[in-house]
Copies of this chain bind each other. A is one copy, B any other.
Amino acid sequence: MIRYHFGYDQHGRSRPGKRLRPQLLLRTALEEGGNVEDALDAAISIEILHNYSLVHDDIEDGDRLRHGQTTIWAQFGIPHGINVGDGLCSLSYLTILHGTVSSDRLVEMLLVLHEANLQMCEGQGIDITFESLPSVTMDQYLEMISGKTGALFSASCQLGAIAAGCAPERAKAYARLGRTYGRAFQIRDDVLGAWGATDLTGKPSGADLARRKWSFPVVWALETPPSADREVVAAAYARGSRLDEHDVEKVSAALDRLGARAAADEAHDRALAEADALAREASIDRGGTIRDFLALGARRVA
């Protein structure tokens, strides 16, 4: 089932992917004068940890499609889905424990990984609770994505810095940088979740809107002054059931007219500018490399 999830073929090759988190980790390690060998265990670890969260998220969100293929739980049932996620979580930690990292650095890395996992659960817990709320503020939304997405981006950068032998303070500066990149990434991901086409996202178009997910564009739109378009969005989200294709199109168009897509793009760019400021502050001169990489990743799927 794990092979299925990663899309391995009969030649032992997995499905190609962005591998954003391990890339962030390795690029950070290289920028700090480390080498790929010392950072590889952590990079594999974070990718597996990310995939454990995907397998569980897909059950929690009821998503039946990812990377254009039926999700684990939809294919093998919820019990196996939960259990495969649990197994991946263990494998993530075992990768780093059975690797070549020295004992002291290992404990430092495991602390980062486990704290990130807990923060991810906290963010996910908020997100699940959102589903039963009549409205969500921008502050609540930002807290949620800081855990759900920010935690692993933060850990990726921090682990890369630790792998390169950075002092704890410098590694923490990278953690802040990573969390800010996570915010940028998630806001962009929300835009794709509302307007992205299936062949680019691997998910049905407007999937996030269909299940009335509290994404950046929707949260932003509902904080605008009363208007007919705002009312369309509010009414759709006040309903107790899934939106059909027709409703998704109506909400998507209303969000566009309200300027929610443009606002999300602005918020995305603001997060990247904030990351630049954080990098300057911590004298991380080459933070631009990672930033460019992220922008590239976003363009590739956008």
Q: Per a CB cutoff under 8 Å, which of B80, B104, B114 touches A97? A: B114
If the complex has contacts A90-B117, A94-B118, are A56 and B83 also in contact, measured as CB distance less than 8 A? yes
Closest to A80 in B: B128
Q: Is A110 an interface residue (CB 8 A)?
A: yes
* B111 pairs with A56, CB closer than 8 A: no
Q: Contact at B79–A93, with CB atoms within 8 Å?
A: no
* Distance of A102 from chain B, by nearest CB (Å): 10
Contact A80 B125 (CB under 8 A): yes
Q: Is the CB of B87 within 8 A of A114?
A: no
In whole angstroms, how far apart are the Cα atoms of A118 and B90 in the complex? 6
A156 to chain B, nearest CB (A): 17
Q: Which of A69-85 contact B (CB under 8 A)?
A: 77-80, 82-85
Bound complex: CA of A83 vs CA of B85, how far in Å?
11
Is the C-beta of A91 less than 8 angstroms from some C-beta in chain B?
Answer: yes
Once A121-B83, A125-B83 are accepted as A-B contacts, the answer to whether A78 and B97 lie under 8 Å apart by CB is no
Task: Tell me if A245 is interfacial: C-beta within 8 Å of chain B.
Answer: no
A78 and B78 contact, CB distance less than 8 A: yes
Pairwise interchain contact B83-A124, C-beta atoms closer than 8 A:
yes
- Contact call A114/B94, Cβ cutoff below 8 A: yes
Chain B CB within 8 A of A40 CB: no
Please judge, given known A-B contacts A86-B117, A122-B87, A125-B87, whether A79 and B60 are in contact too, CB under 8 Å: yes
Closest to A125 in B: B83
A122 CB contacts on chain B under 8 angstroms: 87
Q: Are B110 and A97 in contact (CB under 8 A)?
A: yes
Contacting A118 at CB < 8 Å: which of B87, B107, B125? Answer: B87
Q: Cβ of A85: which chain B residues have Cβ within 8 Å of it?
A: 82, 86
In contact, A94 and B115 (Cβ under 8 angstroms) = yes
A78-B59, A83-B60 known; A114 and B93 CB under 8 Å? yes
Expressed in whole angstroms, the minimum distance between the Cβ of A178 and any Cβ of chain B is 19
Rounded to whole angstroms, the CA-CA distance of A115 and B80 in the bound complex is 19
Asked if B121 and A90 make an inter-chain contact with CB atoms under 8 angstroms apart, the answer reads: yes
Q: How far is the CA of A83 from the CA of B120 in the complex (A)?
A: 9
Cβ of A142 < 8 Å from any Cβ of B? no
Q: Which 10 A-B pairs have the closest CB atoms?
A: A60-B79, A87-B121, A90-B118, A90-B117, A79-B128, A93-B114, A86-B121, A83-B124, A94-B114, A97-B111
Q: Can you offer 11 A-B residue contacts whose CB atoms are under 8 A? A: A59-B78, A86-B120, A90-B118, A93-B114, A94-B114, A94-B118, A97-B107, A97-B110, A97-B111, A103-B103, A106-B107
Besides A56-B83, A87-B121, 6 new A-B residue pairs in contact (Cβ under 8 A), listed by A number: A59-B78, A61-B79, A86-B117, A89-B89, A94-B111, A97-B114
